[in-house]
Amino acid sequence: MANDDSEFQPDDDSIGFVETKQVTLFQAPNELCLESGVRFGPIDVAYETYGTLSPEKDNAIFVCHALTGDAHVAGWHAGKEQKPGWWNDLVGPGKGLDTNKYFVICANVLSGCKGTTGPSSIDPKTGKQYGLNFPFITVGDIVKVHAALVEHLGISKLLAVVGGSLGGMQVLEWAARFPDQMAAVVCLAAAAKLSAQGIAFNVVGRRAIFTDPKFNKGEYYDDPEGPRFGLALARMVAHITYLSDVSIEDKFGRRLQHSSQFKFNLDQETEFQVGSYLHYQGKRFVERFDANSYVCLTHAMDYFDLAEQYGSIRKALENCNANFLLASYTSDWLFTTAQSLEIVSELVKGKRNVSFVELTSSKGHDAFLLEIEPLVQLVRPLLERTRLEMVQQRPKDAAGAAERGNYGG
């Protein structure tokens, strides 16, 4: 890989160079009505698209990102850090979400820090960053903005909505709130609510941020450092939940970092390799994420409870006639197989079209980001079948054109 950005060329199997787009939605007097009751707007939405939208606008797939993700799901940004999108192995020409066939959309979530309006954005009323004056956001609020973006793009029905972890929560909420806006639902490593254990880890993470002296009640944007130590610690704690005991043991065991013997030194904070790794993850994280956004989004995860909001999981999803695909991972202890099966059971009772698979993996919760081929084998036939069903439901003249088309080749 070249050191000079001007000489760098993406991999041949990549979507290539891409740009993040932005649109302003919910402008006065049509502000977004949040679940808290607050009316909020305008909202800038950062998003990326890949592939070409078909003339019938029936080949669009919306990818919902996880807690610390962003709109840059695939391809490369020219002139910036030479790093592909976070799901680059799944999205692109000939890949699981094949951009030769499909039009893929991904947007940064409301209250994020990668282009969509969030706590680090300027409050037009004060001329300063919102900070903790940013309104309380729920997963439902996030989905409302996604749905508005889809409408802005002129798409009445998505081929599929796909997401893992917090992205999977968004997928479930979308199916409940806008049941006619998608033909397929792909929910990976997620649940209908965050467990008490998951909430507990989020509480510890927020506590680490709040107790950093430089957090300053969320007003730290004039400080070049900000609550970097608190945010790094929050990330270190959270990152443990994304791994499994097997993956940690295989990768690090009890190996020491720079010695073959114990130093018997209480100041030696990173004596073990696993400690050094977690410190590295925390350091990298503070370079790309905002502490206030972390606070907002972990609260959104904590509040999410599909059954409580709609009466039951079955009632929440009973009006969605989409093809459902759920997948869990054997070593994921943050979002367990039992939690996925709870959703599947309710969908079956509601006579929804649902498929489920538990994938064997030692990678823990992060497996949906790291082990792509099993996802390709699951998602590709689902998309093909769903697209065919959509074509068959249209008049014959339009269906014939869609079958012959190869959009975005």
Q: How far apart are CA 228 and CA 284, in angstroms?
A: 10
- For the chain, the domains span 1-193+307-409, 195-303
In tens, the pLDDT along 212-262 reads 999 999 999 999 999 999 999 999 999 999 999 999 999 999 999 888 888
User: Residue 114 pLDDT more than 60?
Assistant: yes
365 is catalytic: yes
User: Residue 37 pLDDT more than 60?
Assistant: yes
Q: Which one is catalytic: 121, 165, 328, 361?
A: 165
Structure tokens at 100: 């030769």
pTM of structure: 0.93
Residue 49's DSSP bridge partners are 105
User: Residue 315 pLDDT more than 70?
Assistant: yes
1-193+307-409 CATH fold: Rossmann fold (3.40.50)
The pLDDT-based confidence of 400 (bands split at 50, 70, 90) is very low
Residue 372: which of 164, 96, 101 has the closest Cα?
96
Q: Which one is catalytic: 332, 340, 361, 366?
A: 332
397 is catalytic: no
In tens, the pLDDT along 47-103 reads 999 999 999 999 999 999 999 999 999 999 987 667 899 999 999 999 999 999 999
Q: How far apart are CA 55 and CA 38, in angstroms?
A: 38
If you average pLDDT over every residue of the chain, what do you get?
A: 93
Residue 403: which of 381, 383, 388, 385 has the closest Cα?
388
Residue 189: which of 304, 330, 312, 378 has the closest Cα?
330
Q: Which one is catalytic: 65, 72, 146, 365?
A: 365
- DSSP secondary-structure letter at 79? T
User: Residue 362 pLDDT more than 70?
Assistant: yes
Q: Which pLDDT does position 260 carry in this prediction?
A: 85
Token pair 């160079």 is found at 17
As assigned by CATH, the class of the 195-303 domain is: mainly alpha
250 is catalytic: no
